Structure 1
Amino acid sequence: MNWYQLDTKEVFRKLATSEQGLAGSEIASRLEQYGPNTFMNEEKTGRITILLHQFKSPLIYILLVAAIVTALLHEYIDTGVIMAVVILNAVIGYIQEFKAEESIRALRKLVVPKARVLRGGVEKEIDSEELVPGDVVLLSSGSKVPADLRLFRVIELRVDESLLTGESLPSDKSTSPLKEANLTPGDQKNIVFMGTIVVCGRGRGIVVETGQGTSLGRIAEQVREVTELKTPLQVKFEKFAGFIAAVILGFSVFILLGGLLLGARLSDMFLVAVATAVSAIPEGLPVAVTIAMAIGVSRMARRNVIIRKLPAVETLGSTTVICSDKTGTLTKNEMTVKLIYDGSHTYEVTGTGYEPKGEILHEMIPLIKGEMKAIVNALRIGLLCNESDIYEENGVFKVDGDPTEGALIVSAMKAGLSPEEENEHYPQIAIIPFESERGYMATLHRHRGKNFIFVKGAPETVIDMCTESIRMDHEIIKKVNHASSEFAKEGLRVIACALKEISHDTEEITQNDVKEGMVFAGLQGMIDPPREEALIAVHNCSNAGIRTVMVTGDYPVTAAAVAKGLDIGGEQPEVFPGKEIDALGDEELFHKTQNVSVFARVSPIHKLRIVQQLVRGGEIVAVTGDGVNDAPALKAAHIGVAMGKMGTDVAKESSDMIVTDDNFASIFSAVEEGR
């Protein structure tokens, strides 16, 4: 059932609940009917499982058979030597894989999730496992969504769904029913999903799905159903073992029959044939290969890569295609202002991420503070018409709040504006918070006995408010709209800024105060930019004969801009949207995967199908990802590469290796070691 297509009254009716929540008498029966709000994770790899995994090799099988035969023939020294080789091989592999599992356990954050609910009109906190369909959940800034909810009340609610959808920006939520069927999670604006995080605002929602029925649960089920591929090394070993077994068996039979034809005794010739077979087995090969891979694992660890399964070392070296997520892997998942427009000129902003390190350039020349008069108002408005903060933690700058607002704060700081000083000189008196329906945010500030309204928002909305801006005539409006359009074509998110002076005794502001008379201050264009080191890594991959394919849940225009910046798919990369994948059969999609290197707005099942068609084409495929949306594809690839910092447990447990610094460049370093 598509809950997002129903209005809230219909949802309440179908789930027999109300805005006051379920009555206490209903809870137990529904918990029994629907089960707890959990889903089965892949079982953690135990010590016995890791040990037994070391014996899953055809060559080891041959050695074990040889050990049994020599023991039956009372050749105990040979038996001991063979078993010593087998055990040594198992110990080396066990130590390495157990270390990797320990590293993964250290990366997991153990939390007991709670949920705030209304039950019988009373607000209470419960374990999220106790949630049932029909419960009413209360959401606020910082909340982790405990189940799939159909929203029925929102106040400026924005939710970070990046781990589920791959989008860089938080999603604005609403309560209105949606008509279109088969929407991806990122387009279901009246639904919030288990595991996503509220960035700002408040909301209330009805629990419509729990446990396995949630988007998260369905993805976990897909992960369990995907069959893991054999690595190239495993395939080679199986072929080699089959060849060795056939040669040894044939040679032994030849010796046995030859001896019998020459008149030798059967028992004597049998012993000779067995001895020949045992001596021909390359018992040192498994140990040699295991030691070589273990050394590779150790070297990779110094390059921020944890190998979970030893054969992954060799697979990396054989990789021909890397399917990479965009957000957080090829980019830093940190919005950054790149361009500013003042109505006449465009300025470039250097630096990436939330670290306030960079310069403002005009025609490639850095500006000093006194030369920024034309853009200082736009920067000040972005800094002060703002509800977020930038802070430093362990040497890393982070945003507390909305990534877009974080980018605006950082661009102002790069121009020399201090948040503390600006807030002191322009104290905020009143605010009209951002709402997606309005498309803007406004704040009232006092400065030297005067009051000013600052506005930031969507360009089309803010420009309509500007009836005066250095004589805001049609020509200037045309230029501003053209600049905004050019920014958007580059994949930038565009924020317009405006201000006006208002009566000094004003204490509150309304929508009527901002709908006209605003003065245009400028545009700021931002993007989650490509990692600088990722560009080098993509070029290195190309030089090494490895094709990089971007597979993202973000919008096509954003994907195209990042792909162009990284030279993925050429200067004008073709972007294939996920909704068109639904209309393609496997044969048509197979041909698309041979030529297209950028897929946007994809769902988990789209990503899985893309990987399967690349594998079908004979490619050795590595897949990177950090979200639960990546997990099925991670498991279906020859080698799954999960992110250690931002990666979810589901992604890590579906992977063969983990990149601890979430950096695409580390993946290429691992490929070098693999080769």
Structure 2
Amino acid sequence: MEQEHARPWHALLVEEVASRLDTGALGLRQATAKSRLARYGPNQLAEAPPTSALARLLHQFKSPLIYILLAAFAVTLLLGKTIDAGAIAAILVINAAIGFTQERRAEVSVRALTRLVSPRTRVIRDGHEWEVESRELVPGDLVLLESGTRVPADLRLVAATTLTVDESLLTGESASVHKQAGAVAEDAPLPDREDMAYTGTVVSSGRGRGYVVATGARTELGEIAGSIRGEAAAATPLQERMRRFARVVGLVVGGSSALGFLIGVVRGESTSDMFMLAVALAVAAVPEGLPVVLTITLALGVARMARRRAVIRRLPAIETLGSTTVIGSDKTGTLTENRMTVQELWAGGRFFSLSNEALLEDPRARPVEGAQDLAEHPPLYLLLLTGVLANEADVFQTERGQVTRGDPTEAALLLAGERLGLAHEALRGHWTSDAEIPFEPERQYSASLRSRDGRRALFLKGAPERVLAMSTAQLGEAGLEPLDAEAAHAAAAALAGRGLRMLAMAYRPLEEAPARPDAVEGPEGLTFLGLTGMMDPPREGVREAIARCQDAGIRVVMVTGDHVATARAIGRELGLTSDGAALTGTELAALDDAALLGRALEVDLYARVTPEQKLRVVRALQAGGEVVAVTGDGVNDAPALKAADIGVAMGRGGTDVAREASDMVLADDNFVSIAAAVEEGRVTFDNLRKVTFFLVSTGAAAVITLLSALTLGWPLPLLPAQLLWLNLVTNGLQDVALAFEPADPGVMARAPRPRREGFLSGLLWERTVVAGVVMAAGTLGVFHWELARTDSLPDARTAALTTMVLFQMFQVGNARSETQSVFARSPFSNPFLFWATAAALAVHVGALYFAPTQFVLRVVPLTDGGSWLRIVLVAASIIVAMELHKLLRRPSARDAPAAREGRG
């Protein structure tokens, strides 16, 4: 029964398949099916088990910054500083709770999206037709197929009647594939295996039956799913930045603590006091609030994306799109609507346009807008009439809108006729069917023999070459005329050059009905009517979304299994390319990895590629330093979705395998949402950067303050409890509020951030040092002034602490924009930040006059109005310093607005 070390199923005759599977025309016996189900298991892909609560909880403590917090907690606990240790422990618990909750919500959302009703399948067992759950199918089952059904397992067809299957989810081709039962060559590629029907594909029209040859993980879909699970998920740019940032913070913590300890010991201070100083420096250097704010900022991005019909499966993914430099998109169903539409017509020697406005530049062409145009042009009317009558599809209205049934190509002809006033139901009622000739690949045409009021005619459609070969005349503006095959071929070449799929139409009046339906086989003497050009049209708004991405410095690359001419036409229409440069799967296969890397950085269109080749393209782009996002909905997209920096799957029309491989799922299957996702990602990262700059600059100020005081031989201006107060209470409200900051102007008009750039750019690190020095100098100045004036260390420390609190209040305004002046942004554009800043100041002032907090923080009330005035004026100096730095040190040209040049 197994096919190991034997010829593949598609190369075997039907009798050989039945023999190997030990089955036949009566199907399996129920008892046999039951035993095989126990042997092979259910016909379903193994679903990744949900993450356990314990594993999700432990995952919250794997962040590099959390390691630093854990180390700080251990040090403070060992030194007996229970208040400090308790504060750090509270941060760890809050961060874990927020991360745990958000990740659980995201996982539940995706599982709800991917939960599908269990499908059922018609099979022959014990010689009778049964309906069973698809998961109960086993090798050897005889499955019945009909129009509209989803193929439940890999089948070797044993019968096919005008059977066509939509394999776009597996191969990427938008046109349905005609199937037959005869064996094909052993080395035939998957798209050419006409005697096979694969799991997940959909029957477009006709009927068929086939033996199940593979189920579950053994199917083509299952093998792809298995290869996906073998792919290691790449670290996101955000995770890489977090690791690098944590290493920097760790070095600063260790270095500043060791430096302070050594300076103190050299100056003759006691070892115990220097241990206390080391703790103070560690507390000052570690941005304790950053893990919490990081999670909150990402969670806010997730919430915003959810409102735009996108489900984020992993929190860091929301930022990755903001760093993306290349988006590799599938064509069918992602950039296009995955439905054929008549775009152009050629009849009577003239082109007519239904959708393609560019065609109207041809002086021979004109738009067709209604039935009145058909009355003026008999060849065009008969062309459309033939498309309606030589047709087995159906179009009807339901409460949910218009529904098409049958082959997408034939449905497109019906819709074109309906648009121009040819109601197919009425016409079929007038022209009754006498005989039908179904389409077969070897025949290359289909036909319908119709009668009306004593008149009979044969209406035929098919491949242009075949129809022209059967025609002896053509219908022109003035009536019948000799066939001009050269003009017809030229028109066909023009349509093909625009990436359109073509059908030719012809008809022949008959004196009487044939005695038998097969008497009309091989008709000759036809009157050629013209050509129809069809295309799977782009989704509404996709061109604008692509242009927006390109303006943001992001290349949009189409990777499709469809024909190169179709890819070029769609690429030009969407503005992906102006010169039509494309790389085909055959050309790609001839390139080694180094050569592909060079081409991948230049080519924006890939056609006729296999899933393995799509994966090669993604890896080549990544090797070139690109941050790659891959969008798609089909099984063929899934390996690339997994390997990419971020995979974006379609939630409505896509496969479970694609969704499982992705980081983000678009619930509305709309590529237009990608541009919005890029913007949200950039806003999210900008806010992470603002929070980081704010926390690091204030932490740097505290470290510089303590080290400077120690070097000068002064008492510590700030105690460990006061540093925790700064980090966890006063700026703890403001850093969270920065996560709600609205987008900066021009966020979508600048180049993406380089992959290796950290949370803070070189410019912001420079600004951090400037801010730290200014705030430290101001705090030390106030401390020294108050100590000399009052000769009271608690008074001086209270003044220094209050100065640092006010410095933070002004610095949070500076952090709202990397380039804009603090005076250019209304304080009320982020009301949460405004009130958080006011609340932080009120909490601190209240603590100065509340006995319990006075005891814990070792502060005293500030009763001198002159002290308050000096503190406010000194703290305001940070605004002057930052405004000067923004003016003198503007961002580099890379960060300036950068629209992509050469967009077609």
TM-score, normalised by the number of residues in structure 2: 0.69
**SS of equivalent residue, structure 1 residue 275:** helix
Alignment of 1:36-75 (within 5 A): 36-45=42-51, 48-75=54-81
Structure 1 pair 218–368 and aligned structure 2 pair: CA distance change class (3 A): closer
Residue 604 (structure 1) aligned with residue 611 (structure 2): yes
Alignment of 1:349-388 (within 5 A): 349-350=354-355, 363-364=365-366, 367-372=369-374, 373-374=377-378, 375-388=380-393
Alignment of 1:350-429 (within 5 A): 350=355, 363-364=365-366, 367-372=369-374, 373-374=377-378, 375-392=380-397, 396-429=401-434
* Match of residue 622, structure 2, among 612, 615, 631: 615
* Structure 2 residue aligned with 1:84: 90
Task: Give deviations 1:145-188, integer Å, cap 9, x for gaps.
Answer: 222112222111111111111111211112232226261x2222
Structure 1 unmatched runs, 5+: 353-360
Alignment of 1:11-410 (within 5 A): 11-23=17-29, 26-27=32-33, 30-45=36-51, 48-179=54-185, 181=187, 183=189, 185-350=190-355, 363-364=365-366, 367-372=369-374, 373-374=377-378, 375-392=380-397, 396-410=401-415
Q: Distance in 2 between matches of 1:395 and 1:153?
A: 34
Quote the offset at 1:108 in angstroms: 2.6
* Structure 1 residue aligned with 2:600: 593
| Paired residues of 1:429 and 1:508 also in contact (CA < 8 A) | no
Q: Distance in 1 between matches of 2:186 and 2:431?
A: 46
Q: Distance in 1 between matches of 2:524 and 2:366?
A: 36
Residue 522 (structure 1) aligned with residue 530 (structure 2): yes
Task: Give deviations 1:240-285, integer Å, cap 9, x for gaps.
Answer: 1011111211221222333334444434432331232123210122
Task: Give deviations 1:291-326, integer Å, cap 9, x for gaps.
Answer: 333333333334333322221222111100000000
Residue 443 (structure 1) aligned with residue 448 (structure 2): yes
One-letter code of the match for 1:342?
A: A
Q: Distance in 2 between matches of 1:634 and 1:444?
A: 49
One-letter code of the match for 2:676?
A: S
Q: Distance in 2 between matches of 1:27 and 1:98?
A: 39
Q: Distance in 1 between matches of 2:557 and 2:289?
A: 39
| Paired residues of 1:7 and 1:176 also in contact (CA < 8 A) | yes
Structure 1 pair 474–587 and aligned structure 2 pair: CA distance change class (3 A): farther
Quote the offset at 1:56 in angstroms: 3.2
Quote the offset at 1:26 in angstroms: 4.5
* Match of residue 5, structure 1, among 7, 11, 14: 11
Structure 1 pair 507–283 and aligned structure 2 pair: CA distance change class (3 A): farther
Residue 464 (structure 1) aligned with residue 456 (structure 2): no
48-57 vs 135-144, which moves further: 48-57
Q: Distance in 2 between matches of 1:576 and 1:77?
A: 66
Residue 546 (structure 1) aligned with residue 550 (structure 2): no
Residue 510 (structure 1) aligned with residue 518 (structure 2): yes
Task: Give deviations 1:351-406, integer Å, cap 9, x for gaps.
Answer: 89xxxxxxxx9744555523323311111221232222223456653422111111
Q: Distance in 2 between matches of 1:396 and 1:594?
A: 43
* Structure 1 residue aligned with 2:765: none
Q: Distance in 1 between matches of 2:203 and 2:553?
A: 42
| Paired residues of 1:41 and 1:650 also in contact (CA < 8 A) | no
Q: Distance in 2 between matches of 1:218 and 1:534?
A: 32
**SS of equivalent residue, structure 1 residue 230:** coil
* Match of residue 624, structure 1, among 614, 627, 631: 631
Structure 1 pair 477–636 and aligned structure 2 pair: CA distance change class (3 A): same
Q: Distance in 1 between matches of 2:153 and 2:60?
A: 39
Structure 1 pair 108–36 and aligned structure 2 pair: CA distance change class (3 A): closer
Task: Give deviations 1:118-139, integer Å, cap 9, x for gaps.
Answer: 3454433333333333333222
Q: Distance in 1 between matches of 2:280 and 2:529?
A: 89
Structure 2 unmatched runs, 5+: 1-6, 358-362, 683-904
Task: Give deviations 1:62-99, integer Å, cap 9, x for gaps.
Answer: 11232233233332332332233333334444444433
* Structure 2 residue aligned with 1:452: 457
| Paired residues of 1:173 and 1:190 also in contact (CA < 8 A) | yes
One-letter code of the match for 1:572?
A: G
| Paired residues of 1:54 and 1:94 also in contact (CA < 8 A) | yes
Quote the offset at 1:582 in angstroms: 3.8
Identity %: 47
Structure with a larger share of its residues in helix: 2
One-letter code of the match for 2:373?
A: E
20-29 vs 627-636, which moves further: 20-29
Q: Distance in 2 between matches of 1:587 and 1:616?
A: 10
One-letter code of the match for 1:669?
A: A
608-617 vs 203-212, which moves further: 203-212
* Structure 1 residue aligned with 2:698: none
Structure 1 pair 364–523 and aligned structure 2 pair: CA distance change class (3 A): closer
Q: Distance in 2 between matches of 1:513 and 1:186?
A: 29
| Paired residues of 2:472 and 2:483 also in contact (CA < 8 A) | no
**SS of equivalent residue, structure 2 residue 175:** coil
One-letter code of the match for 1:611?
A: V
Structure with a larger share of its residues in strand: 1
Q: Distance in 2 between matches of 1:571 and 1:224?
A: 38
Q: Distance in 1 between matches of 2:123 and 2:422?
A: 43
Report the number of matched residues.
Answer: 667
Q: What is the root-mean-square deviation in Å for CA atoms of aligned residues?
A: 2.8
Q: Distance in 2 between matches of 1:396 and 1:586?
A: 48
| Paired residues of 1:348 and 1:362 also in contact (CA < 8 A) | no
Task: Give deviations 1:4-33, integer Å, cap 9, x for gaps.
Answer: 233333333433443433455644554455
466-475 vs 225-234, which moves further: 466-475
Quote the offset at 1:466 in angstroms: 2.3
Structure 1 pair 155–602 and aligned structure 2 pair: CA distance change class (3 A): same
Q: Select the structure of larger CA radius of gyration.
A: 2
Quote the offset at 1:204 in angstroms: 2.2
* Structure 2 residue aligned with 1:672: 679
Q: Distance in 2 between matches of 1:607 and 1:342?
A: 40
One-letter code of the match for 2:437?
A: I
Quote the offset at 1:224 in angstroms: 0.5
Q: Distance in 2 between matches of 1:32 and 1:301?
A: 42
Structure 1 pair 244–444 and aligned structure 2 pair: CA distance change class (3 A): same
Quote the offset at 1:463 in angstroms: 2.3
Quote the offset at 1:460 in angstroms: 2.0
Structure 1 pair 279–533 and aligned structure 2 pair: CA distance change class (3 A): same
Structure 1 pair 419–473 and aligned structure 2 pair: CA distance change class (3 A): closer
Q: Distance in 1 between matches of 2:630 and 2:523?
A: 49
Q: Distance in 2 between matches of 1:228 and 1:604?
A: 18
Structure 1 pair 68–181 and aligned structure 2 pair: CA distance change class (3 A): same
TM-score, normalised by the number of residues in structure 1: 0.92
